[in-house]
Amino acid sequence: MTTKLYYSDSYLQKFSSKVQKSTLIDDMPAIFLEQTAFYPTSGGQPHDTGTINDIEVLDVYENESNDIVHIMKQPIEDRDVVGRIYWERRFDHMQQHTGQHLLSQAFIKKCKADTISFHLGDESATLDLNQTGLSADTISAVEEFTNRIIYENRQVIGHIISKNELDQFPVRKPASVDGNLRIIEIENFDYSPCGGTHCSRTGEIGVVKITRHENYKEGTRIHFKCGIRALRDFQEKSKILKQIGEHLSTGEPELYRNIKKLQHELKSLRREHTDLKNQHLDHEAQAIFAERKDLENLDIISKVFTDRNPKELKLLAQKLVQYGANTLVLFGTEAGGKASLLFLRSEAIPIDMGKLMQQACAVIGGRGGGRPEQAQGGGPAADKLEIALNRALEEVLKQSDPKL
């Protein structure tokens, strides 16, 4: 069993040890030491990183025999080694983890919500509570209470005890290990069995900020940031607010009101724009309908556009089809060097637009189809749009004239 130096001193950044074994695990170099300050992934807290004899430590975990396994970037042949912990990461984990102890107890004290699990990642820290429907006011009260405990700079003490001494401590969760265990006490505030790395006083956490909360598996998931993470988050958000403020020429207190006002203006402008566009399409439809060809008792409209929005073109075609009982629309448009076709007809005309579209698409080297009364398609040969529409028109006339 490896001696766990981080257990008694979470501030230890450099240590020496004899090597017990150097081996390969899943084709990766692995090293076992007599003692280590490297924290292995466990209890929701990720492993430490750093170096052993200047070789990078990639992963650290505890195996079934309670040995700490260090997975290395390269093999180590030495018998004596010096390990160095990457302190930025370790201290960040200590801040988040100790902050979590405080938050978990604060949620019990303020709203009787127990922590079910805790997860710490490189970016996020979350704890899951067994309660739903927590109000924004409750969350805010818990946050403030937690930070007040931080400012009191309470001591964080590790008590190593045997399992039968456990009833002397008002722990908030049962112990999951046998034999001796460690109770982390946040001076007269929280008692919890834990093997993680913690700050020695609450003041080192700096600040705890709950960034958001959400319903999660019959409970609530709390997202939070402590210490340096909270500071970076604050810096990032301040930067974003400043940019938005500068962009809108608005001070921070008026930002929300001004954005709401802008949204309202945008909504009414969009409505106005849609109305005007619709009126414009009506005029265009009337002008196009006036130029229709009257062939075989059909009102035929065949037209090639340049760079028209397909949605708009469809609206235009729909308006035209409503003008008469025997209207047939053959539209083509070129956009971005490609050809698109749109065929629509009144209900009474017994010609299948889907089949007509397949034939026309063959001309522009593409594909298309649709329902008997409406079809669309496209192809690469934009220069053949006129030919494709003429081919479709010939087919319409063929099918409409019984003599042909």
Is residue 325 packed enough to be buried (19+ CB in 10 Å), middle (13-18) or exposed (0-12)? Answer: exposed
Q: Which residues in the 38-67 window bind Zn ion by CB under 5 A?
A: none
Least distance (Å) from Zn ion to the CB of residue 69? 22
Cα angle 284, 287, 292 (rounded to 5 degrees) comes to 120
- Contacts (CB under 5 A) with Zn ion, residues 166-195: 194
- Give the residue closest to Zn ion by C-beta: 194
Q: How far is the CB of 196 from Zn ion (least distance, A)?
A: 4
Query: Among candidates 91, 97, 93, 126, which has minimal Cα distance to 190?
Result: 97
Nearer Cβ to Zn ion (96/400): 96
Q: How far apart are CA 170 and CA 189, in angstroms?
A: 10
- Residue 169: is it exposed, middle or buried by C-beta count within 10 angstroms (0-12/13-18/19+)? middle
The verdict on 196 binding Zn ion (CB under 5 A) reads: yes
Least distance CB 86 / Zn ion (angstroms): 20
Torsion angles phi and psi, residue 384, rounded to 5: -105, 15
HSE-up of residue 185 (Cα within 13 Å, Cβ side): 12
Q: Quick check: 379 binds Zn ion (CB under 5 A)?
A: no
* Nearest residue (CB) to Zn ion, 196 versus 377: 196
Residue 118 CB, nearest distance to Zn ion (Å)?
Answer: 8
Of 149 and 194, which has the nearer Cβ to Zn ion?
Answer: 194
| 328 makes contact with Zn ion (CB under 5 A) | no
Would you say 6 or 15 has its CB closer to Zn ion?
6
DSSP letters, 105-148, are: HHHHHHH-PPEEEEEE-SS-EEEEES-----HHHHHHHHHHHHH
CB of 97 to Zn ion, least distance (A): 5
Binding mask 62-101 for Zn ion (x = CB under 5 A): ----------------------------------------
Number of residues that bind Zn ion (CB under 5 A): 2
Report the Cα 54 to chain-centroid distance in Å.
36
Smaller CB distance to Zn ion: residue 94 or 298?
Answer: 94
- 136-151 and 87-111 are packed helices; what angle lies between their axes, rounded to 10 degrees? 120
Nearer to Zn ion, 107 or 343 (CB): 107
Token pair 């992963």 is found at 59
Residue 184 Cβ vs Zn ion, minimum distance, rounded to whole Å: 5
193 versus 332: smaller Cβ distance to Zn ion:
193
Least distance (Å) between residue 101 CB and Zn ion: 6
Bridge-based pairing state of the strands 28-33 and 115-120: unpaired
Residues that bind Zn ion (CB under 5 A): 194, 196
